Amino acid sequence: MTMTSRIVFMGTPEFAEKALEAIYNAGHEICLVVTQPDKPKGRGMTMLPSEVKKFALEKGIEVFQPMSFKDEAAVQKIKEQNADYIIVAAYGRILPLSVLSVAKNGCINIHASLLPHLRGAAPINRAIMEGDTVGGVTIMHMAEGLDTGDIISKHPMEIPFEMTAGEYHDALAVLGGEAIVEFLSKDAHERTPQNEAEASYAKKIEKSETETNFDDTALNVYNKIRGLSPYPAAFAFIGGRRMKLLRAVIGKSEPLDGNVPPAQILNADSNGIEISCRVGSIIIKELQPEGKRAMSADEFLRGNPMFKNMRI
């Protein structure tokens, strides 16, 4: 007989939606979905629901969108569900003890890193930006600190050298769904405290970080471009126009011959736009001019010729 649990699910973006879908498909009783309030998006600033909300409504699951948990009525709403577990995935807000202690068996988080590495808001982007070759998800028992709770299980995956943050996100979302379903299939779990000496933090990506600095090694520039792709996207001014840099490869990893300064176009042809770095070069393969759609560098160059030795 398959064991089922009564669950309050808390999450907001697509990463969380994949976990919710996996739990739903596994046959567990999802009594309430808690997600962030609808937010204005797009040029028209239309109020749009989260991915989690859209899935819940499609399946007829009750949705709750509190502005905060300072209101005792919001906490009481969750408590009334009499849930076995609260499952959390990228909810978007730190939960107070009043919420963490509500469910019979605790509050369980799906975190997008192998804790204690990369606690915090942006573990997916930071893993790629830092050049990690192995990542994964952690199922953890939530405590009051920022991703400091006991580890229940870790689920590693390789990060290929060419993988972008968007591709890594999609792979982790599936892995997170599988991991939480595996957790829910067991009636007992060992808990291991985190080693604080090994902790690192994945702070939120700030807009000021997204401008590409070519006065760096080609490897670091490459990791930054793929670590911010497709969102929020690294950018540079090429030919006087702001461009999101969505995909690149390393051209040369060793120092360039001659006294070539960083941020100089070395080549611009069907192979891409090659730009010098402090050490080596990077070749832009896909970009998005401001106000335009994403396109290959080859397509962009057909209407916007670049010239060798041009500075960007």
d(CA 250, CA 218): 6
Predicted pLDDT of residue 210:
98
* Averaged pLDDT, 55-75: 95
In this structure, CATH architecture of domain 6-198:
3-Layer(aba) Sandwich (3.40)
Residue 2: pLDDT band with limits 50, 70, 90: low
pLDDT digits (tens, 9 = 90+) for 32-59: 999 999 987 766 778 889 999 999 999 9
In sequence order, what are the residues at sequence separation of 6 or more whose Cβ sits closer than 8 angstroms to the Cβ of residue 212? 221, 224, 225, 234, 235, 236, 245
Kindly list the distances between the CA atom of residue 11 and the CA atoms of 15, 86, 230, 262, in Å, as whole numbers in the listed order. 8, 11, 21, 42
Q: What rounded mean pLDDT belongs to the chain?
A: 94
Phi, psi dihedral angles at 305 (to 5 degrees): -65, 135
Give start-end residues of each CATH 3.10.25.10 domain in the chain.
207-303
Residue 190: pLDDT band with limits 50, 70, 90: very high
Taking domain 207-303, whether its CATH number is 3.90.950.10 is answered by no
Residue 13 pLDDT more than 80?
yes
pLDDT digits (tens, 9 = 90+) for 246-282: 999 999 999 998 889 999 999 999 999 999 999 999 9
d(CA 249, CA 239): 20
* Averaged pLDDT, 105-127: 97
Give start-end residues of each CATH 3.40.50.170 domain in the chain.
6-198
Longest CA–CA separation in the chain, Å: 71
Which residues share a beta bridge with 134? 158
d(CA 98, CA 135): 32
Predicted pLDDT of residue 1:
42
